[in-house]
Amino acid sequence: MKIFIDTADLDEIREIASWGIIDGVTTNPTLVAKSGRSFNEILEEIFKIVDGPISLEVISEKADDMVKEAKELISKVSEKYRKNIAIKIPMTSEGLKAVKNLSKEGIRTNVTLIFSANQALLAAKAGAAFVSPFIGRLDDIGQEGMQIVEEIVEIFCNYDIETEVIVASVRHPIHVIDAAKIGANIATLPPGVIRKMVKHSLTDIGIKQFLNDWKKVKK
């Protein structure tokens, strides 16, 4: 399973990418705004750090406007990095129209705000390269978010659908394990969740014991 980092914080992207575990990046206007830096500056730095799919989100609501905005986003990125761009499109009827038109032009899309297997299937049929079910938000309203991922993965496998499933709105490391066991292609994770995946109390205890024993050997 591939791991994407879900942030626009360049320091976090740079640090965690240095671990050799990051395959792509997902961003949105909220994450960019939190960074406090210019959009173009952030984009160029992200593309330099991570050689993989980078999702950039449109904010328009009409299909024609989404297509126009997507092309404007692409134009802001240096030509050598454009192969890595995926345009995030909301799961609406207008969004499906935009996905269809963009895919015809060879522009990859990531359909976001997926909350059902039906939505994921429609997005895939429209030509989406990625679909992003938001499992944490489903959990918040009392639905089992990971069940949606399981349904999507099963349907896509039944019909050899090439659209990749990005598990989004991940809240804790258990979500990551569940996504991997189900067979999701990708999980996009906030930096905090990635850092929690690294840690285990027994690892810390083992390192401390090793260092204490080594001090005794040296004496």
Give the side-chain half-sphere CA count within 13 A for 122: 17
What confidence score (pLDDT) does residue 36 get? 75
Q: Is 136 exposed, middle or buried (0-12, 13-18, 19+ CB in 10 A)?
A: middle
- For tokens 């999980």, what's the residue? 187
Q: Are 57 and 26 in contact (CB under 8 A)?
A: no
- Every domain of the chain and the residues it spans: 2-218
Q: Cβ contacts of residue 11 below 8 Å, gap of 6+?
A: none
Catalytic-residue membership of 216: no
Nearest to 67 by CA among 28, 26, 101, 27: 101
State pLDDT tens for residues 153-171: 999 999 999 999 999 999 9
Span of 2-6, 100-104, 164-168, 208-212 with lowest mean pLDDT: 208-212
d(C-alpha 76, C-alpha 94), whole Å: 24
**Beta strands 186-189 and 2-6, pairing class:** parallel
What confidence score (pLDDT) does residue 131 get? 98
Q: Cβ contacts of residue 147 below 8 Å, gap of 6+?
A: none
Among the listed residues 2, 68, 83, 88, the single catalytic one is: 88
Q: Are 13 and 38 in contact (CB under 8 A)?
A: no
CATH match of 2-218 with 3.30.1330.10: no
Phi, psi of 185 (to 5 degrees): -70, -40
State pLDDT tens for residues 166-215: 999 999 999 999 999 999 999 999 999 999 999 999 999 999 998 888 88
Q: Cβ contacts of residue 40 below 8 Å, gap of 6+?
A: 76
